[in-house]
């Protein structure tokens, strides 16, 4: 079990490094300095939070997203699952095709907004889920 966790963390680190070198986040665009910078850093932040959420879902067994499942309909659970699946696809496809878009500034702003929206969703899911882990500082 611990070996799976170590390999997963190594794979996540390699994925982040490859993404970092693909994006060149510190290289400034001549015309679109700020929108490109915000897009790159919002994507890298999205990727870190997304990998953290994926790690937590893979390796923590006592996870319950809601405290009382009787009050939650299955439609809400399916909606959250669909948002998660779409959330791991849309920003990545968006960052890969950004150079093919004609109006880049509005595209950068739109994709940055989507990335920030998914960051908020992932953070809410991280804190709304009972992972079964006790943290000494929170008690």
More reliable by pLDDT, 60 or 115: 115
The predicted structure's pLDDT at residue 139: 46
What is the SS3 string spanning the chain?
Answer: CHHHHHHHHHHHHHHHHHHHHHHCCCCCCCCCHHHHHHHHHHHHHHHHHHHHHHHHHHHCCCCECCCCCCCCCHHHHHHHHHHHHHHHHHHHHHHHCHHHCCCHHHHHHHHHHHHHHHHHHHHHHHHHCECCCCCCCCC
**Tens of pLDDT, residues 22-48:** 888 777 777 888 888 888 999 999 999
Structure tokens belonging to residue 101: 């878009």
Residue range 102-133, pLDDT digits in tens: 888 899 999 999 999 999 999 988 888 777 66
Q: What is the pLDDT of residues 79-97, one digit of tens each?
A: 888 888 898 899 999 998 9
- Predicted local confidence at residue 133, as pLDDT: 63
What is the distance between the alpha carbons of residues 29 and 104, in angstroms, rounded to a whole number? 11
Give pTM, 2 decimals: 0.80
Q: What pLDDT is recorded for position 49?
A: 95
**pLDDT the model gives residue 116:** 96
pLDDT band (50, 70, 90) for residue 67: low
């Amino acid at each position: 079990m611990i070996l799976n966790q170590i390999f997963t963390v190594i794979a996540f680190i390699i994925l982040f490094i490859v993404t970092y070198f693909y994006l060149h986040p510190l290289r400034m665009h001549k015309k679109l300095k700020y929108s490109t910078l915000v897009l790159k850093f919002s994507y890298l932040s999205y990727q870190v939070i997304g990998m953290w959420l994926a790690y937590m879902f893979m390796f923590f067994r006592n996870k319950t997203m809601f405290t009382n499942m009787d009050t939650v309909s299955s439609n809400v659970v399916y909606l959250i699952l669909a948002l998660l699946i779409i959330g791991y696809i849309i920003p990545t496809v968006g960052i890969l095709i950004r150079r093919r878009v004609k109006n880049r500034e509005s595209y950068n702003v739109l994709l940055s907004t989507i990335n920030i929206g998914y960051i908020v969703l992932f953070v809410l899911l991280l804190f709304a889920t009972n992972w079964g882990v006790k943290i000494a500082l929170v008690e």
